[in-house]
C-alpha cells in the first residue's frame, strides 16, 4: 500500500468560475511541499483528478510548473511529481527607510537573485525618488543578467516603508517619514518603472517574508513583531496578511505606554522606548551610520550597561505586547524579527523569557510561543519582493467570497 503522507495545502473548489482560485491553490501547495503528484494534489486540495490534470497542464504551458522523473511507490503505477519552476516569475522589492533604500529581486520560490542599496540623499522625497528609481533600474539590469527570462516575467514591484499611513503627522517628527507619506510615491514609481506597484508598511513586509520563506512558512496564523528603526506587527490571519481598513493594522509602536514606575503623564508611544532608534539614542549612535549594526553588536557583546538597561526595558514592554497579541489573535506562534543585529536579537529573546501567562500556554503545541525570524537589514526588502509574488499566486479566499456574493440573486 502507498503511504498516505500528510500534505500541507488549502482546499480548492470544484464550482464553476473558480479556476483562477484553484490555480493559486495548486501553486501554493507546490510551494509549501516542494513537489507533489497529481494524486497528491487532488487529495490535498479536495479537487477532482480531472480538475487537477487540467490545471497542471495550464501551469506547464504557462511555464510555472514542470514534471520530474516518475517515482514508483509500492506496487502501484509510478507517479509523476511536479514542482514550481523558479524562473516562472520574478519580482522586485523596495525598502525605503529614514536613511537608506534597498532593493531585492526574487524568483517564484523566493530565492534572492540580486540586491542593491544606497543612501537616501538629503532634500526629501523629490530628490530621494530619483535615487530610488535609479536603484530600481540598476536592479532590473542585474536581474536580467542573472535571469534573462525575467525581462518578460516580472510581475511587479513591492514597496515597503514605515507607517502609519494617511494620518496627520508633524513634518519634524523623527519617528515618521511625514514628507514621504504625503508624496505620491506609488504613482511616481508606477510611471517611472511601468510596473504594478503596491505599498505596505515595513512590519507587513517582514511578515510576508516570514510567510513565504521564513518561520511562518506553512502556518495560517502567525504574528510577526518587527523591531527596526520603529516597532510594528505583521498579522497573518487565516493564511493571509491582514492589513486593516487603511493599511495600518499592527502599528503597535503607536500604543501609548509608560516606563516601569513612571507616572501617567510619562506615557509615550511604545516605539520611543522599544526600537533601534531608541537604542541609538541611549548609546549616542547615529542611526544613519553605515556601520551601525557593527557598533551595536560590539556594545552588546561587551556587554555595555546601557544595552543591558535598554534590553530590560524593551523586554518588559514586549512581554506585555506578546501576551496581548496572543490573547486577541490566538496565533500558532509569535515571531520576533526585524532590522536588528543577530546578537542583540538573541539577547532580547532570552530576556523575554519566561513569557507572561497566556491562553497560548497549552499542551501539544507544534510551534513555540515565541521564536526568532529574520534579523538582518534586508528582511523588509525581501518581504517587499515577496508581496507581488504572493499577490499574483497565493490563494485569496476574500476574492472568491466576493464572487459568490456578487453572483447571488
CATH code at position 118? 3.30.420.40
Alpha-carbon distance of 201 to 160, in angstroms, equals 5
Question: Using one digit for the tens of pLDDT, what is the confidence trace for 281-294?
Answer: 999 998 888 888 88
DSSP for residue 222: E
- The separation between CA 373 and the C-alpha centre of its own chain, rounded to angstroms, equals 11
Q: In DSSP terms, which residues pair with 145 in a beta bridge?
A: none
How does the average pLDDT of the chain come out, rounded?
A: 87
1 — pLDDT class (breaks 50, 70, 90): very low
Residue 409 has which C-alpha cell? Answer: 440573486
For residues 38 and 77, state if they share a domain: yes
Mean pLDDT of the region 351-357: 96
Do residues 202 and 95 make contact, with C-beta atoms less than 8 angstroms apart?
A: yes
- In which domain, by residue range, is 289 found? 216-376
For residues 283 and 248, state if they share a domain: yes
Alpha-carbon distance of 393 to 108, in angstroms, equals 9
Question: What pLDDT shows up at residue 292?
Answer: 87
Radius of gyration of the chain (CA): 23
Question: What pLDDT shows up at residue 405?
Answer: 35
Do residues 13 and 400 make contact, with C-beta atoms less than 8 angstroms apart?
A: yes
Alpha-carbon distance of 403 to 136, in angstroms, equals 36
Residue 164 has which C-alpha cell? Answer: 502609519
Do residues 202 and 228 make contact, with C-beta atoms less than 8 angstroms apart?
A: yes
Question: What pLDDT shows up at residue 88?
Answer: 96
45 inside domain: yes
404 — pLDDT class (breaks 50, 70, 90): very low
14 — pLDDT class (breaks 50, 70, 90): low
For residues 220 and 351, state if they share a domain: yes
Higher pLDDT, 407 or 80: 80
- Is the pLDDT score of 223 beyond 80? yes
Alpha-carbon distance of 348 to 296, in angstroms, equals 13
Q: In DSSP terms, which residues pair with 199 in a beta bridge?
A: 159
Higher pLDDT, 94 or 24: 94
Number of folded domains in the chain?
3
175 — pLDDT class (breaks 50, 70, 90): low
Do residues 79 and 41 make contact, with C-beta atoms less than 8 angstroms apart?
A: no
What CATH number has the domain bearing residue 78?
Answer: 1.10.10.10
Q: How far is CA 392 from CA 24, 178, 380, 388, in A?
A: 8, 30, 19, 6
Amino acid at each position: 500500500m502507498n503511504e498516505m503522507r500528510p500534505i500541507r495545502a488549502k482546499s480548492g473548489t470544484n464550482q464553476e468560475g473558480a479556476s483562477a482560485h484553484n490555480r493559486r491553490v495548486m501553486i501554493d501547495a507546490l510551494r509549501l511541499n516542494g513537489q507533489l503528484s497529481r494524486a497528491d494534489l487532488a487529495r490535498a486540495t479536495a479537487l477532482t483528478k480531472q480538475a487537477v490534470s487540467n490545471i497542471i497542464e495550464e501551469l506547464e504551458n504557462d511555464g510555472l510548473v514542470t514534471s520530474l522523473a516518475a517515482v514508483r511507490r509500492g506496487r502501484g503505477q509510478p507517479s509523476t511529481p511536479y514542482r514550481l519552476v523558479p524562473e516562472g516569475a520574478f519580482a522586485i522589492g523596495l525598502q525605503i527607510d529614514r536613511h537608506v533604500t534597498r532593493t531585492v529581486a526574487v524568483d517564484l520560490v523566493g530565492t534572492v537573485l540580486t540586491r542593491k542599496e544606497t543612501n537616501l540623499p538629503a532634500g526629501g522625497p523629490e530628490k530621494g525618488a530619483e535615487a530610488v528609481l535609479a536603484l530600481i533600474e540598476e536592479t532590473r539590469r542585474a536581474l536580467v543578467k542573472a535571469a534573462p527570462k525575467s525581462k518578460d516575467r516580472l510581475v511587479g514591484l513591492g514597496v515597503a516603508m514605515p507607517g502609519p499611513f494617511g494620518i496627520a503627522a508633524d513634518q519634524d517628527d523623527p519617528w515618521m517619514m511625514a514628507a514621504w507619506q504625503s508624496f505620491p510615491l506609488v504613482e511616481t514609481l508606477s510611471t517611472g518603472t511601468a510596473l504594478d506597484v503596491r505599498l505596505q508598511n515595513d512590519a507587513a513586509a517582514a511578515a510576508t517574508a516570514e510567510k513565504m520563506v521564513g518561520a511562518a512558512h506553512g502556518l495560517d496564523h502567525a504574528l510577526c513583531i518587527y523591531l527596526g528603526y520603529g516597532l510594528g506587527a505583521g498579522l497573518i490571519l487565516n493564511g493571509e496578511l491582514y492589513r486593516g481598513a487603511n493599511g495600518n493594522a499592527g502599528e503597535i509602536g503607536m500604543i501609548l505606554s509608560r516606563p516601569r514606575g513612571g507616572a501617567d503623564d510619562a506615557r509615550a508611544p511604545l516605539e520611543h522606548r522599544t526600537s533601534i532608534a531608541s537604542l541609538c539614542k541611549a548609546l549616542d549612535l547615529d542611526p544613519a551610520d553605515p556601520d551601525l549594526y557593527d557598533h551595536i553588536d560590539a556594545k552588546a557583546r561587551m556587554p555595555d550597561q546601557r544595552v543591558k538597561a535598554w534590553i530590560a526595558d524593551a523586554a518588559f514592554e514586549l512581554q506585555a505586547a506578546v501576551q496581548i497579541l496572543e490573547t486577541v489573535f490566538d496565533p500558532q506562534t509569535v515571531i520576533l524579527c526585524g532590522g536588528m543585529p543577530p546578537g542583540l536579537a538573541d539577547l532580547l529573546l532570552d530576556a523575554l523569557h519566561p513569557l507572561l501567562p497566556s491562553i497560548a500556554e497549552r499542551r501539544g503545541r507544534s510551534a513555540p510561543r515565541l521564536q526568532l525570524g529574520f534579523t538582518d537589514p534586508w528582511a523588509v526588502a525581501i518581504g517587499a519582493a515577496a508581496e507581488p509574488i504572493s499577490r499574483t499566486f497565493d490563494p485569496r479566499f476574500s476574492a472568491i467570497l466576493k464572487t459568490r456574493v456578487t453572483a447571488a440573486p
